[in-house]
Amino acid sequence: MSSELTQPPLNDSEFRCLQKFMADASGIVLAPNKRPLVAGRLMTRLRHYRLDSYADYLHLLDQQMNLKERRLVVDLLTTQETYFFREHPHFDYLGEWLAGRKGPLKLWSAACSSGEEPYSLAMVAQEHMCSGDWSVLASDLSLRMLQKARDASYDMAQAKYFPQGWLHRHCLSGEMNGRFRVQAALRERVSLREINLVQPLPDDLGLFDVIFLRNVLIYFNNDEKRRTVQRLVNQLRPGGLLFIGHAESIHGFDLPVRLLNPAVYERL
CATH 1.10.155.10 residue ranges in the chain?
A: 12-77
- End-to-end alpha carbon distance in the chain: 59
Question: What pLDDT shows up at residue 64?
Answer: 63
Q: What percent of the chain has pLDDT over 70?
A: 97
Instruction: Give me the pLDDT at residue 5, please.
Output: 58
User: What digits encode the pLDDT tens for the residues 135-189?
Assistant: 999 999 998 899 999 999 999 999 889 999 999 999 998 777 899 999 999 999 9
Tell me which residues are annotated as active site.
Answer: 41, 140
Mean pLDDT by runs of 10 across the 268 residues of the chain is 68 94 89 91 92 93 82 83 92 96 94 96 95 94 93 93 95 87 97 95 97 93 94 98 95 96 97
| pLDDT score at 3 | 44
Pairing of strands 236-244, 190-194: unpaired
Q: Give span(s): CATH 3.40.50.150, the chain.
A: 88-267
Burial class of residue 115 (count of CB atoms within 10 Å of its CB; 0-12, 13-18, 19+): buried
Domain at 88-267, CATH class: alpha beta
CATH class for the domain made up of 12-77? mainly alpha
- Evaluate whether 232 touches 242 at the Cβ level (below 8 Å): yes
215/71 Cα distance (integer angstroms): 21
What was the pLDDT predicted at 2? Answer: 43
pTM confidence score: 0.87
